[in-house]
Structure formats: C-alpha cells, structure tokens
C-alpha cells in the first residue's frame, strides 16, 4: 500500500519529544497515515484512530500502543554496527513505545484485508491516567450488541523482546490511614499515638494474602511507599497515613482488594482505627489480565515471532482491552537488560532488526487471523 519505512519513521518519532505534550507526536502520526491515503480520526480523548476494512465480513483485530513518554526527554542517537539492520536506535520512546508503534504501523500498511477489519488505536496518555484508552468506543460495547466495532483480538505494542505476553499484573494505589487521639507529648498515656499504631499495621501488611500465588504471575505484592503523620513536635499524633502500591494478580479487582485489606488490618489491631482508601482516578485502575495460552491469538503470534509465551513485567492498557477480547502485549525492545533499566531509563534503546521482526510477526498474524 505504501513505501513506509518503519526505521525512518522511528528515527523521526524519537527526535519528537512527547513527555510533556503529545501534540507534535500525534501530528507526525496523523500525517504519516494520511500521506499513505488512510483516513484518520482524532477522537475527543485524543486517540488516533484508523482502520482498514475488507470487502467481506470477518474478524476485527485492534492494534494498539501509545505515543506519550515519561520524562525527561532523551535525545536520539543511532549506533551503526555493520549492516543497518544491526544498528541500535537510542532515545526516549525508542522502545516504550515508539519502536512498537513503528512495527505496528508497518504491519498495518502492509496488510490488505480481503475480509474483516484491522483498527489502529493509538492512545495519548498510557504513562499517566489512560483517559484515552478508557474512552475508546469498543471498550464500552457489549459483546452481544452486534456492533462491528467489537474486537476479536487485540495486540498491544510494548517492549517484550518479541515474546508474546498473555498476562500481566495490575496496579492499584491506595492509602492506609491510622487514627488515634491527640494528647500533650508530656502525657502520652492520655492519648492514642497513631504513629505507634503503625507498627502492628505494617506488620499485618506482610501477612495479607501471603499464601496466594498465580501459576504464571506468581504472588501479588503489597508495598508501603510513602508515609506522613503528626502536626506538632510536642503533641501525640492523632492521625498518620501511608501510601500502598499493590501489584495484583487475576482475578482480583480494586474494590475487592480495598475491602479485604481493610478488614485484615482492622482484625490485626485494636488500639487504633484503620481505614483503607483507593487513590482517586477518573479512569479504572489497570487490573491484572490473562489470556489463555492456547488461544488462537497467542498461538499464532508466538508461531510468527518465535518468541516465548510469558507474562509481561508491568501494568499496561492491555488491562482495559482484555475485558472485551483476547489480548496480548508484544513488541521490540526490553524493559531492562543485564546492565539495568532500558525503558524509562537514560539508556533507552531498541534494535533495528527487532523492529522489523516485530512488524513481520504482526503482519503474519493478521494474515492468519483476518485474511
């Protein structure tokens, strides 16, 4: 359909900062699609949407990734190593997730469906609030309402080292508040010290669902991350609180987690009051998801890529898509390597050969599922 070069696009994309605003990156994406004759829509939530439709009814596959990046911006560079396909592209977004975007675009352009449809849905704020993904029409559609928008499979572009990730932990954030009673510090026995009450509460965290384990994702984690309390240095504090980070496993939901943890902590203490609240969000939390390893999507993409089937190491918007269709996370690049952090780090990179291999694998999967 087009002479699209994913590596040339990726170089330009990495040179385009998108850590503070995605406007320039979104413009690049839209111009790339429209220059190839693909009608493109930007919806009210800032999602870039495009589709290719066959002449006959058939499966609907969604290709998704995001254009926002974390700060700070890391400038583009390219390490030349012999053949161009041996090169390595460096810079912010190179693997998370502009490298996967380049691969998905290449497959999207190269594939011409005879039946069914392929939708490209690129979101603007995956690294923050995911308002784009939460607003996508097909996420709100019921499976039995007959709409053509309902997807049959979703491939989410993220750095997986060409492995097919069919599951991932979710992430919830909340606050545990411990309440006691104020008193003068010279007479501590007259009050209830909320900070002292932290000791049994923190101890009880370690026994919360300590015997729970998912066969692929392992045990969930529950980690206190920040703490604050007290208002005066000569007063017994009546309140203190700490933030918790929960990495969940299926089938746990956010509210189920909150209720269970609150009951567990209240059972563990009696001198203080304990409440658990979830962080306020305008969008749902990214919950854990799992697509069966023997599903057609997982098997096909694994055969095409040669990658392993395994869980993904971070929470993604795949959580939203998995509620309505079989979903996998897949793409070039890695979250980390033997030297340390890659995605979100100062040495972020992606290998040119892996971008091309990811594009070939997605195109082969589209041929098998839609053609």
Residues 78 and 158 in one domain: yes
Residues 10 and 100 in one domain: yes
DSSP state string for 307-357: PPEEEESS--THHHHTTTS-EEEE-SS-SEETTEE-TTSTT-EEEHHHHHH
Domain that includes residue 223, residue range: 170-278
Q: How many CA atoms lie within 13 A of 353 on its CB side?
A: 9
Identify any residues that bridge with 329 across adjacent strands, giving them in sequence order. Answer: 156, 165
Please state whether 130 falls in left (phi above 0), alpha (psi between -120 and 50) or beta: left
Residues 156 and 295 in one domain: yes
Catalytic machinery residues = 68, 126
Residues 100 and 69 in one domain: yes
Residues 136 and 211 in one domain: no
Consecutive H or E run containing 6: helix 6-14
Domain final residue, candidates 250, 278, 306: 278
Residues 73 and 33 in one domain: yes
C-alpha–C-alpha distance, residues 65 and 133, integer Å: 10
- Position 212 scores a pLDDT of 85
C-alpha distances in Å from residue 44, one per residue of 108, 125, 134, 156: 23, 13, 12, 21
Please state the length of the chain: 371
Residues 131 and 70 in one domain: yes
- Position 147 scores a pLDDT of 44
Residue 74 covered by a domain? yes
Residues 13 and 154 in one domain: yes
- Position 267 scores a pLDDT of 95
- Position 188 scores a pLDDT of 94
C-alpha–C-alpha distance, residues 309 and 294, integer Å: 10
Sign (positive or negative) of CA dihedral 287, 293, 297, 299: positive
Residues 58 and 148 in one domain: yes
The tens-digit pLDDT sequence of the chain (371 residues) is 568 999 999 999 999 999 999 999 999 999 999 999 999 999 999 999 999 998 878 899 999 999 999 999 999 999 987 666 789 999 999 999 999 999 999 999 999 888 889 999 999 999 999 999 999 987 765 445 444 468 999 999 999 999 999 999 999 999 999 999 999 999 999 999 999 999 999 999 999 987 888 988 999 999 999 999 999 999 999 999 999 999 999 889 999 999 999 999 999 999 999 999 999 999 999 999 999 999 999 999 999 999 999 999 888 999 999 999 999 999 999 999 999 999 999 999 999 999 999 999 999 999 999 87
Residue 144 covered by a domain? yes
Residues 152 and 132 in one domain: yes
C-alpha–C-alpha distance, residues 206 and 296, integer Å: 39
Residue 157 covered by a domain? yes
Domain final residue, candidates 244, 259, 278: 278
Nearby residues of 290 by Cβ (< 8 Å), 6 or more positions away: 166, 167, 216, 217, 250, 322
Cβ atoms of 179 and 273 within 8 Å: the answer is yes
Residue 350 covered by a domain? yes
- Position 114 scores a pLDDT of 87
CATH number, residue 27: 3.40.630.10
Residues 254 and 313 in one domain: no
Residue 343 covered by a domain? yes
Q: How many domains, in total, are found in the chain?
A: 2
Cβ atoms of 100 and 358 within 8 Å: the answer is yes
- Position 146 scores a pLDDT of 44
CATH number, residue 215: 3.30.70.360
Residues 155 and 34 in one domain: yes
Residue 283 covered by a domain? no
Query: Angle, nearest 10°, between helix axes 352-369 and 296-305?
Result: 140
Is residue 29 exposed (0-12), middle (13-18) or buried (19+ Cβ within 10 Å)? buried
- β pairing state of 56-66 and 115-123: parallel
The CA angle 303-55-107, to the nearest 5 degrees, is 35
C-alpha–C-alpha distance, residues 26 and 47, integer Å: 9
Reported pTM: 0.89
C-alpha–C-alpha distance, residues 190 and 217, integer Å: 48
Cβ atoms of 162 and 361 within 8 Å: the answer is yes
Residue 1 covered by a domain? no
C-alpha–C-alpha distance, residues 185 and 174, integer Å: 30
Domain final residue, candidates 260, 278, 296: 278
C-alpha–C-alpha distance, residues 259 and 266, integer Å: 11
DSSP state string for 33-79: HHHTT--EEE-TT--EEEEEE-SEEEEEEEEEEE---PSSP---EEE
C-alpha–C-alpha distance, residues 174 and 342, integer Å: 28
Residue 48 covered by a domain? yes
């Amino acid at each position: 359909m087009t002479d699209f070069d994913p590596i040339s696009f990726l170089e330009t994309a990495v040179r385009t900062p998108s850590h503070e605003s995605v406007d320039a990156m979104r413009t690049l994406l839209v111009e790339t699609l429209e220059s190839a004759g693909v009608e493109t829509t930007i919806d009210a939530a800032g999602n870039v949407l495009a589709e290719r439709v066959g002449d006959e009814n058939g499966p609907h596959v969604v290709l998704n990734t995001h254009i926002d990046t974390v700060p700070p911006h890391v400038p583009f560079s390219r390490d030349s190593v012999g053949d161009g396909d041996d090169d390595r592209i460096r810079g912010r977004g190179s693997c998370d997730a502009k490298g996967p975007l380049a691969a998905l675009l290449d497959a999207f352009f190269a594939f011409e469906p005879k039946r069914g449809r392929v939708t490209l849905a690129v979101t603007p704020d995956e690294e923050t609030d995911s308002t784009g993904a939460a607003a996508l029409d097909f996420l709100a559609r019921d499976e039995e309402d007959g709409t053509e928008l309902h997807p049959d499979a979703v491939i989410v572009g993220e750095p997986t080292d060409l492995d097919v990730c069919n599951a991932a932990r979710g992430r919830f954030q909340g606050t545990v508040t411990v309440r006691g009673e104020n008193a003068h510090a010279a007479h501590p026995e007259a009050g209830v010290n909320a900070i002292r009450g932290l000791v049994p509460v923190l101890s009880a965290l370690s026994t919360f669902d300590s015997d729970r384990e998912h066969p692929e994702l392992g045990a969930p984690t529950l980690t206190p991350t920040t703490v604050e309390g007290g208002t005066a240095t000569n007063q017994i504090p009546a309140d203190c609180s700490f933030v918790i980070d929960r990495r969940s496993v299926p089938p746990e939901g956010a509210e189920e987690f909150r209720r269970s943890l609150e009951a567990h902590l209240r059972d563990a203490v009696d001198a203080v009051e304990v409440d658990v609240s979830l962080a306020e969000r305008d969008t749902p939390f990214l919950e854990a998801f799992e697509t069966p390893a023997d599903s057609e999507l997982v098997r096909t993409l694994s055969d095409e890529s040669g990658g392993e089937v395994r869980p993904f190491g971070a929470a993604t918007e795949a959580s939203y898509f998995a509620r309505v269709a079989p979903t996998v996370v897949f793409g070039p690049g890695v979250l980390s390597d033997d030297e340390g952090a890659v995605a979100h780090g100062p040495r972020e990179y992606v290998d040119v050969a892996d971008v091309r291999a990811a594009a070939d694998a997605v195109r082969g999967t589209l041929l098998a599922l839609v053609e």
